């Protein structure tokens, strides 16, 4: 069976590469470089029309739900060529309400749209260990499962359509807030005489341990490795969507709203396309510390 994959950038490319180990994959992306990278792994390139006409299963991994809508319903969108019975699996970190609306629109034409965002970073996608959160009815989940298992065995059925995006936004809200608190704590220690590496080791060994300190601060950030393939703009988008979801459902978002504003501050300082861990450079500037090394793996500004 031919599988389509639209959006093969940093994360989508890593996910599509896993699929290409077991399936014939047709890819489409605005970046010719990204498409060529997938071609080198055995995929073929195609237009949206060719993917819609030739694939019964199509994956999407795009920056926002607005991009998903454009790919599906734009002038050259997939919806013009999809055949009834096609399954669309959206791996974008998207807006649950928009996903449900698009699923309803496609359902009227006999096409299923489910959400299956991921968490675990590009490294987890490449290694086949990434967590996949699925929003779908049981029949849709059962149909998608064999394809998702090609990507990773860590698959969670979160409930109905949109629920995958709900729990992904909760996940990203908490992980992005952990990043900020981790920088704040390590810089507080550094400003008061504790070496950042020692501070991180102590925190990881104690009750302050979190995934960011353990997997990112010590192994990468303190060594100047800030290029993780995820931008400040995308982090802010995820927190903003989580805060909006809280407002819509009557959940207080004290920490979420603060995190959103701190990422906006970092965007104002560094730019939306800067790597997300450059927020640490903003903290350094505000605190008068030098936790982030002067020399990093980022290109000169």
pLDDT reported for residue 263 = 98
Q: Which three-class secondary structure string do you get for the chain?
A: CEEEEECCCHHHHHHHHHHHCCCEEEEECCCHHHHHHHHCCCCEECCHHHHHHHCCEEEECCCCHHHHHHHHHCCCCHHHCCCCCCEEEECCCCCHHHHHHHHHHHHCCCCEEEECCEECHHHHHHHCCCEEEEECCHHHHHHHHHHHHHHCCCEEEEECCCHHHHHHHHHHHHHHHHHHHHHHHHHHHHHCCCCHHHHHHHHHHCCCCCHHHHHHHCCCHHHCCCCCCCEHHHHHHHHHHHHHHHHHHCCCCHHHHHHHHHHHHHHHHHCCCCEHHHHHHHHHHHHCCCCCCCCCCCCCC
| Low-confidence residues of the chain: pLDDT under 70 | 301
Contact 280, 292 (CB under 8 A): yes
- pTM beyond cutoff 0.75: yes
Residue length of the chain: 301
pLDDT reported for residue 1 = 84
Q: Give the domain 2-161 fold.
A: Rossmann fold (3.40.50)
Answer yes or no: 168 catalytic.
yes
Q: Which residues, 6+ apart, have CB-to-CB distance to 186 below 8 Å?
A: 196, 199, 200, 203, 213, 217, 291
pLDDT reported for residue 300 = 81
Task: Kindly name the residue from 2, 101, 168, 191 that is annotated as catalytic.
Answer: 168
d(CA 43, CA 54): 14
Contact 92, 67 (CB under 8 A): yes
d(CA 5, CA 147): 12
Answer yes or no: CATH 1.10.1040.10 is held by domain 166-287.
Answer: yes
How is the chain split into domains, by residue range? 2-161, 166-287
């Amino acid at each position: 069976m031919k599988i389509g994959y639209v959006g093969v950038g940093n994360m989508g490319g890593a996910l599509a590469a896993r699929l290409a180990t077991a399936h014939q994959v047709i890819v489409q992306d605005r970046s010719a470089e990204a498409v060529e990278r997938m071609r080198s792994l055995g995929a073929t390139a195609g237009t949206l029309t060719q993917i819609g006409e030739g694939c019964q299963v199509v994956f999407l991994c795009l920056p926002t739900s607005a991009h998903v809508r454009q790919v599906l319903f734009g002038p050259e969108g997939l919806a013009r060529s999809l055949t009834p019975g096609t399954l669309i699996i959206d791996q974008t970190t998207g807006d649950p309400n928009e996903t449900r609306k698009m699923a309803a629109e496609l359902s009227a034409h006999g096409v299923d749209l489910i959400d299956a965002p991921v968490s675990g970073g590009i490294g987890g996608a490449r290694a086949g260990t990434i967590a996949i959160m699925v929003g779908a009815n049981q029949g849709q989940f059962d149909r998608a499962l064999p394809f998702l298992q090609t990507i990773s065995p860590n698959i969670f059925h979160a409930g109905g359509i949109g629920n995958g995006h709900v729990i992904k936004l909760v996940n990203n809200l908490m992980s992005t807030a952990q990043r900020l608190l981790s920088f704040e704590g390590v810089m507080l220690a550094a400003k008061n005489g504790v070496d950042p590496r020692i501070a991180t080791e102590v925190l990881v060994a104690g009750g302050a341990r979190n995934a960011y300190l353990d997997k990112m601060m010590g192994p990468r950030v303190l060594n100047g490795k800030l290029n993780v393939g995820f931008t400040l703009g995308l982090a802010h988008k995820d927190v903003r969507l989580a805060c909006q979801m809280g407002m819509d459902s009557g959940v207080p978002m004290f920490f979420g709203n603060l995190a959103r504003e701190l990422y906006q501050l970092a965007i104002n300082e560094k730019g939306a396309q800067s790597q997300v861990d450059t927020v640490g450079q903003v903290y350094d500037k505000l605190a008068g510390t030098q936790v982030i090394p002067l020399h990093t793996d980022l290109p000169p500004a």
